[in-house]
DNA sequence: AAAAACAACTTAAACGATTAATCTCTTACG
DNA sequence: CGTAAGAGATTAATCGTTTAAGTTGTTTTT
């Protein structure tokens, strides 16, 4: 391994001078600068980041703790983080907590999640990262569960009540816009297949829906609200219930694409045509949404952007820029495909 | 930050002694060992890995270079790598090349991929990782594209011809078994919707299919072989061609789930019943495969296991264990769902 | 009883960078 | 002309560990 020392010897200067040209600090004459640069080139010198980090107490490495990498949103967020990191000289140290695989749907049990944390995270904290990005599996509150100590941290796809920085998407607005779209298409009987009701996204999305219904002076029918559990089966079952109800809705707002897929299956099975007989709108824009038949109209989550904004926030915290926004909320976008149409007369 | 020096002072010993108890090296009396451990506990000392790495020239960090994180297989492989890493004290430094997003289907143009490499990878190499795992986007040959220099490297979901270590799944065997399953269900007219034909998996899978057909003494009909491009549309279009052909197949082997989904759509559109009128089998076991209607029977790739085996290989190379297998090939497993049945008489 | 061996420590030099403090020239200015 | 200022370089300490080599004092061997 070539060291600064080797460069210095060959170029007949001190190590300090070499370091100065490497970092563009100090004052070095153009002549020696050129000379040193040439030697560096010749010897194919690669700086040792470890040594540098030890001295300057900065690693230019960001820890990324993800509750579950295999969850659909994680890789897209990581991709966003990576894009910014690459362009700004940061590396990413990744740790996967695997909460979903280890706890399943038990993860609302905060104590269990907490117990999962230490082994996975201690290591990453000790590795001397400059800051941390925490990617949850649901946009739920993780305060009290995660203790990152004094390390600057930005939470995304989850948040901490009150303290801490977070980047998320706007559930309320997204549901509002989805509902508004349905209403504008002419629907007035709009059912909802919700996720688990003790979760923030479910609550916020319901409120967005409710707001849109009220703003457009439609009647709110509680029998149109069904509570699912985010899974395919519940979308399927609840849609059957909806179709068997006294008044049949002309549109269904499913709170994720997986349940929407279940809803589509249920409708198709009953011989209904989508969107002629019933419209369905999903949430997430999962990859499969354009592989199913008919292709699903859905609200796309700004995942890539969330990753980008999370690391931007973190970097601005690291740079002590005071203006950093505490809780960013990004907008979802409506992806129009083939499951929404005007209702029959 | 608490240093070894601080511990040493408080415990009235030298830094060397502290280091010895920390590493379990040297010879330290039980009495001082206890004493030092107590001080460490009291002061909540956390070792500085950076300093240690500088000295011992080992980081216990493994670089993971992935051609595209958002590709369906990547996160599952990463999950496998992570599981082993966590249990063996390694950290993961992740870099995403984003080849798919940057090059699209152009990635068979090796020159372009090569040009993408340096900026993304140089950084990770300089960060002094002990070894590298490279995760491709297709199981294609990347030799000549990727230059990891002297760094121990294991390739997965891709390979290098001849030199280097790799872990992959067995395409030939998987296709053989899928075909065999179809034959055993009673099918004799089995069509294939292949991926791009200049790709290794396409070739190997075709050979597996061909072998199975021959082994079971069926006639091989070239008109049953259609070449797609891995995308949904081609599955759809080619299935329509197949259905319009002079002899209609009773089963379709699609070389990935996405094309299989296209095939299902085409069949459904023609009013065919699956699997009564036609059987369809996919490849990959994508998440959506159980969300589509009917649920797709498919060959599952051993992704998690590939990640585990990749890092196992790497670690055994790092430990200079000579016995490390050069090119591991893992088995796919058949996931039986609802798109394969016995053919009509 | 002297020599050798060993256990239990300590000393101090690395590892490869950064950087405050110095030093030596020039150049500029009143 | 004397001196202050500045440019361009060097010296050496430092970051937090590890570890070879050295130092004790005690035990074993012969």
> What are the structural domains of chain A?
4-47 (1.10.260.40), 58-163 (3.40.50.2300), 171-301 (3.40.50.2300)
pLDDT in tens, A113-130: 777 665 667 767 777 899
- Identify the weakest region by mean pLDDT among A306-315, B11-20, B129-138: B129-138
Residue B144 has a pLDDT of 75
pLDDT in tens, A251-306: 999 999 999 999 998 998 899 999 999 999 999 999 889 888 889 999 999 999 99
Q: Left (φ > 0), alpha (ψ -120 to 50) or beta: where does A53 sit?
A: alpha
Residue B106 has a pLDDT of 63
**Phi and psi, residue B256, nearest 5°:** -155, 170
Question: Using the beta-carbon criterion (under 8 Å), do A293 and B83 form an inter-chain contact?
Answer: no
Judge whether residue B119 has pLDDT over 70.
no
Query: What residues does B281 pair with on adjacent strands?
Result: B253, B297
Residue B226 has a pLDDT of 97
Residue nearest to nucleotide C6 (CA to C1'): B27
CA B199/CA B58 separation, integer angstroms: 38
Cβ-based burial of B151 (10 A; exposed 0-12, middle 13-18, buried ≥19): middle
Residue B103 has a pLDDT of 76
pLDDT in tens, A238-255: 999 999 999 999 999 999
Judge whether residue A339 has pLDDT over 90.
yes
pLDDT in tens, B18-70: 999 999 999 999 999 999 999 999 999 999 999 999 999 999 999 999 999 99
Helix (H, G, I), strand (E, B) or coil at B34: helix
pLDDT in tens, B70-94: 999 999 999 999 999 999 999 999 9
Q: Using a 7 Å CB cut-off, which residues contact strand D?
A: A 12-17, 20, 26-29, 31-33, 51, 54-55, 57; B 1, 3-5, 15-16, 19-20, 22-23, 25-26, 45, 47-48, 51-52, 54-56
Q: Which of B92, B169, B117 is closest to B138 using CA atoms?
A: B169
Residue nearest to nucleotide D16 (CA to C1'): B51
Residue B21 has a pLDDT of 98
Question: Using the beta-carbon criterion (under 8 Å), do B127 and A89 form an inter-chain contact?
Answer: no
Q: Would you place residue B282 in the very low, low, confident or very high pLDDT band (cuts 50, 70, 90)?
A: very high
Of A147-161, B127-141, B237-251, which one has max mean pLDDT? Answer: B237-251
Sheet-wide strand order for B91-96? A327-330, A165-169, A153-159, A131-141, A61-66, A91-96, B91-96, B61-66, B131-141, B153-159, B165-169, B327-330
Residue A106 has a pLDDT of 63
Q: Which nucleotides of C are covered by protein (CB under 7 A)?
A: 7-12, 14-21
Residue B108 has a pLDDT of 64
Residues of chain B contacting A119 with CB distance shorter than 8 Å: 86
Judge whether residue B162 has pLDDT over 90.
no
Q: Which of B226, B224, B212, B221 is closest to B183 using CA atoms?
A: B212
pLDDT in tens, A197-227: 888 899 999 999 999 999 999 999 999 999 9
Judge whether residue A52 has pLDDT over 90.
yes
Q: How far is B69 from chain A (nearest CA, A)?
A: 6
Q: Residue A126 in contact with residue B47, Cβ under 8 Å?
A: yes
Residues of chain B contacting A150 with CB distance shorter than 8 Å: none
Residue A117 has a pLDDT of 67
Residue nearest to nucleotide C8 (CA to C1'): B28
Question: Using the beta-carbon criterion (under 8 Å), do A76 and B82 form an inter-chain contact?
Answer: no
Q: Would you place residue A95 in the very low, low, confident or very high pLDDT band (cuts 50, 70, 90)?
A: very high
Q: Using a 7 Å CB cut-off, which residues contact strand C?
A: A 1-5, 15-16, 19-20, 22-23, 25-26, 47-48, 51-52, 54-56; B 12-17, 20, 26-29, 31-33, 51, 54-55, 57
**Of residues B174 and B151, more confidently modeled:** B174
Residue A118 has a pLDDT of 59
Q: How far is A261 from chain B (nearest CA, A)?
A: 6
Judge whether residue B120 has pLDDT over 70.
no
Residues of chain A contacting B265 with CB distance shorter than 8 Å: 293
The C-alpha R_g of chain B, in whole angstroms, comes to 26
In this prediction, residues B161-169 reach a mean pLDDT of: 89
Evaluate if pTM is beyond 0.85.
yes
pLDDT, mean over chain A = 92
> Which residue from B89, B123, B288 is facing A287, i.e. has the nearest CB?
B288
Residue A141 has a pLDDT of 83
In this prediction, residues A43-60 reach a mean pLDDT of: 95
What percentage of chain A reaches a pLDDT higher than 90? 76
CA distances to B137, B181, B197, B279, B339 from B185, in Å: 33, 6, 28, 10, 12
Residues of chain A contacting B72 with CB distance shorter than 8 Å: 287
**Of residues A120 and A112, more confidently modeled:** A112
- B 13-72 near A (Cβ less than 8 A): 46-51, 53-54, 59, 61, 64, 69-70, 72
Judge whether residue B216 has pLDDT over 90.
yes
Q: Which of A148, A131, A46, A170 is closest to A97 using CA atoms?
A: A148
> Kind of pairing, strands A297-300 and A333-335?
antiparallel
In this prediction, residues B221-232 reach a mean pLDDT of: 94
Question: Using the beta-carbon criterion (under 8 Å), do B69 and A82 form an inter-chain contact?
Answer: yes
Judge whether residue A182 has pLDDT over 90.
yes
Judge whether residue B113 has pLDDT over 80.
no
Number of CB atoms found within 10 A of residue B53's CB: 23
Residue A197 has a pLDDT of 82
């Amino acid at each position: 391994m070539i060291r600064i020392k080797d460069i210095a010897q060959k170029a007949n200067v001190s190590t300090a001078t070499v370091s100065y040209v490497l970092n563009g600090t100090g004052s070095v004459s153009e002549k020696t600068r050129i000379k040193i640069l040439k030697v560096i080139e010749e010897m194919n010198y690669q700086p040792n980041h470890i040594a540098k980090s030890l001295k300057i107490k900065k690693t230019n490495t960001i820890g990324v703790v993800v509750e579950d990498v295999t969850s659909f949103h994680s890789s897209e967020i990581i991709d966003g983080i990576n894009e910014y990191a690459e362009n700004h000289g940061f590396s990413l140290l990744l740790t996967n907590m695997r909460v979903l695989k280890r706890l399943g749907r038990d993860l609302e049990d905060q104590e269990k999640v907490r117990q999962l944390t230490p082994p996975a995270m201690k290591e990453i904290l000790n590795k001397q990262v400059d800051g941390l990005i925490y990617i949850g599996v649901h946009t739920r509150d993780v305060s009290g569960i995660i203790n990152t100590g004094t390390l600057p941290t930005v939470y995304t796809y989850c948040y901490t009540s009150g303290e801490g920085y977070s980047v998320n998407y706007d559930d309320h607005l997204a549901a509002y816009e989805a509902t508004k779209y349905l209403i504008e298409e002419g629907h007035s009987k709009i059912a909802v297949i919700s996720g688990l009701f003790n979760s923030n996204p479910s609550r916020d999305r319901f409120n967005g829906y409710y707001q849109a219904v009220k703003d457009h002076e439609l009647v709110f029918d509680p029998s149109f609200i069904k509570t699912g559990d985010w899974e395919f089966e519940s979308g399927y079952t609840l849609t059957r219930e909806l179709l068997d109800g006294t008044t049949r809705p002309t549109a269904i707002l499913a709170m994720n694409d997986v349940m929407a897929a279940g809803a589509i299956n249920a409708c198709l099975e009953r011989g209904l045509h989508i969107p002629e007989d019933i419209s369905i709108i999903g949430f997430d824009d999962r990859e499969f949404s354009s592989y199913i038949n008919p292709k699903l109209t859905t609200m796309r989550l700004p995942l890539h952007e969330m990753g980008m904004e999370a690391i931007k926030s973190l970097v601005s915290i690291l740079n002590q820029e005071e203006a950093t926004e505490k809780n960013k909320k990004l907008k979802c976008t409506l992806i129009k495909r083939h499951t929404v149409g005007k209702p029959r007369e």
